């Protein structure tokens, strides 16, 4: 009888342990992401790498007149230090442009360009709807530089734009979140492109970091008679406790099509290739 009791006790203990493990797993399946404003004096360093490769074929009245391999690469790095916080977001920052380079190539010929902001530091402040950009010494930068900095800091005064894509209510591992094209376009704002579909799926949570699988379909008309489409997939990592984005990677095929006709002349454009984008952020 004693052995039987001992056996039942063992079975009961094992069952209880299994229930505890199951309960812990269930608790981890749902997470609520929280945004916390940055602290004054904190610095965020952002990096961006974009690479596009395309084989472009141009036909004139059905005859191939161009068959070229084209590529473009952009690399950027900025350090943003918070100088003032209003409400739930930074309202005044210092922005240092550490890297800003673009390389375009056709076959073996390369062209390099750098932003006029490279190596310079600016102070940007949000006052209501007004966004002011000054040089580090308080002087007014050239208009070209102001436009670049203002575009980069268009979200100053708001929570991070990547965080704004995420659900504010509890989300469960495996849950799919459809983001409206309008909201997604705030994150990917090229004037000639349109986000057609943007979807997030919570893949898991580990050590306080949520990982979302991302699917994005975008397209547009960069020039009249020309259309481009991108079908990208990747991962988005974000800290659960404060909503800070850590990285976003997207990659996939792209396609270009075009047709221009004028006075009996028919020009057709066709191209296929790949595109990859990687954003990263670190915090001090």
> Which of 183, 193, 186 minimizes the C-alpha distance to 217?
193
Res 162: pLDDT? 85
Spacing of C-alpha 200 from chain mean position: 12
> For the residues 271-281, what does the mean pLDDT come to?
94
Lowest mean pLDDT among 10-14, 80-84, 142-146: 10-14
Measured between its terminal Cα atoms, the distance across the chain in Å is 64
Residue 54 pLDDT exceeds 70: yes
Tally the C-alpha atoms within 13 A of residue 177's C-alpha that lie toward its C-beta.
Answer: 20
Spacing of C-alpha 18 from chain mean position: 40
Res 191: pLDDT? 58
Mean pLDDT score across all residues of the chain: 87
For β-strands 226-239 and 209-220, DSSP reports them as antiparallel
pTM of the model: 0.82
Q: Which of residues 42 and 18 earns the better pLDDT score? A: 42
Residue ranges of domains in the chain:
160-284
pLDDT in tens, 230-254: 999 999 999 999 999 999 999 999 9
pLDDT in tens, 183-193: 887 777 655 67
């Amino acid at each position: 009888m004693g052995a039987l009791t001992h056996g039942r006790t063992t079975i009961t203990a094992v069952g209880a342990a299994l229930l505890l493990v199951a309960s812990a797993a269930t608790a981890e399946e749902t997470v609520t992401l929280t945004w916390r404003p940055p602290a004054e004096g904190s610095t965020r360093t952002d990096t961006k790498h974009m690479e596009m490769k395309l084989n472009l074929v141009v036909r004139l009245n059905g005859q191939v007149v161009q068959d070229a391999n084209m590529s473009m690469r952009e690399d950027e790095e900025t350090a943003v230090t918070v100088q003032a916080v209003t409400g739930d977001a930074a309202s005044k920052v210092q922005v240092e442009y550490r890297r800003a380079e673009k390389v375009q190539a056709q076959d073996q010929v390369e062209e390099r360009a750098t932003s006029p902001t490279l190596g310079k530091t600016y102070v940007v402040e949000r006052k209501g709807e007004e966004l002011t950009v000054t040089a580090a010494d308080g002087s007014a930068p050239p208009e070209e530089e102001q436009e670049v900095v203002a575009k980069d800091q268009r979200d100053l005064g708001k929570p991070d734009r990547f965080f704004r894509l995420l659900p504010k209510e509890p989300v469960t591992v495996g849950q799919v979140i459809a983001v409206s094209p309008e909201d997604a376009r705030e994150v990917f704002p090229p004037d000639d492109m349109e986000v057609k579909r943007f979807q997030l799926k919570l893949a898991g949570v580990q050590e306080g970091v949520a990982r979302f699988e991302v699917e994005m379909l975008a397209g547009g008309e960069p020039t009249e008679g020309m259309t481009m489409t991108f079908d990208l997939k990747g991962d988005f990592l974000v800290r659960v406790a404060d909503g800070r984005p850590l990285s976003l990677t997207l990659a996939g095929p792209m396609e270009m099509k075009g047709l221009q006709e004028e006075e009996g002349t028919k020009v057709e454009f066709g191209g296929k290739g790949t595109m990859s984008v990687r954003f990263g952020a670190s915090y001090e």
